[in-house]
A = this chain, B = another copy of it.
Amino acid sequence: MGEFELIRRYFAAAACAATADGVALGIGDDCALLTPVAGAQLAVSTDTLVAGVHFPALCDPFLLGQRALAVSASDLAAMGAAPLAFTLALTLPDADPAWLEAFASGLNRMATACGLALIGGDTTRGPLSMTLTVFGQVPAGLALTRAGARVGDLLCVGGPLGEAGGALELVLGRLAAAPDVAEPLLERYWSPPPQLALGQALRGRATAALDVSDGLLADCGHIARASGVALVIDAERLPPSPALESLLGPERALQAKLSAGDDYVIAFTLPPAELAELQRDWPQVRAIGRVEAGAGVRVLDGTGRDITPRQGGYLHFME
């Protein structure tokens, strides 16, 4: 079976969507062809997931397929880009049809949910890993970057924090929990819903944005550096998560909210006047702090005491 045929067979649903608007030519030639709408910029992001580093080597391939695309789509969301298409470069130790079918079906499900068409790919033999490149479009000048936060803006997040980090304790078998605690956490880890609609709603409103992948503190550090400001987080205003608090207890739950990665919710800065209207459509949006003059990220408790942890966020390879 040829590599294109392999991809076509298992990823048919996502590849079919390649007749979508903006995709002039899908899988099967030397290149795919995208036709962005007039005046749009094309947003591009690449992520690699390696077995044993970014996901457990032994895991459910359906869930892995879902999560792999969700993680990449989240970068489009954080940029305010409308989803368009993606490519998949899949490296496999062998061609196990059952594994491929389940993986493709998780990937296809997320592709359909996000509106992303599979336009190309490559299959190679080797240790399990995958690189996804996602494409979106955004009207020129309206993309949400990390630079642009202004003193006086609120710091906001689009959803709960730390839950994927809590789930990882379960995934790796370090902790166990009853289903009412475990299930919502595992759902966040395996199927983080990319906040694509929220990202587009933030165009022209948010002054800076990114998706929380490395942990809130580390990612807020990226905004602070790129924008030349300080960010202050009020620990008491972080979104509550009964499941996480039940799993870890209040102290470690707070630590997870501040430092655990993999949540893929959008963190953004917003002029205070914008908050009320935004929360009408997006009630899960919470202001968790503010932008001040200076540099770096600080965490304050309810009394205003600085409780910033020394170590910030999940550290990738070589960080």
Contact present for B76 and A31 (CB under 8 Å): yes
Stretch at the interface among A35-43, A181-189, A251-259, A292-300: A35-43
Contacts of A124 in B (CB 8 A): 48-50, 53-54, 129, 316-317
Contact present for B79 and A31 (CB under 8 Å): yes
Contact present for A1 and B34 (CB under 8 Å): no
A88 to B42 alpha-carbon distance, docked (Å) = 17
A42-B47 contact given A89-B131, A125-B317, CB 8 Å threshold:
no
Contacts of A210 in B (CB 8 A): 29-30
A233-259 to B contact mask, C-beta < 8 Å, 1/0: 000000000000000000000000000
Contacts of A226 in B (CB 8 A): 28-29
Number of copies of this kind of chain in the complex: 2
A75-92 to B contact mask, C-beta < 8 Å, 1/0: 110110100010111011
Stretch at the interface among A61-69, A114-122, A272-280: A114-122
Q: List 19 A-B contacts (CB under 8 A).
A: A1-B318, A3-B319, A25-B145, A30-B76, A30-B210, A31-B45, A31-B78, A31-B81, A31-B143, A33-B44, A33-B138, A34-B41, A44-B87, A44-B119, A53-B124, A89-B89, A89-B131, A126-B129, A129-B129
Closest 3 interchain pairs by CB? Answer: A131-B131, A50-B126, A31-B43
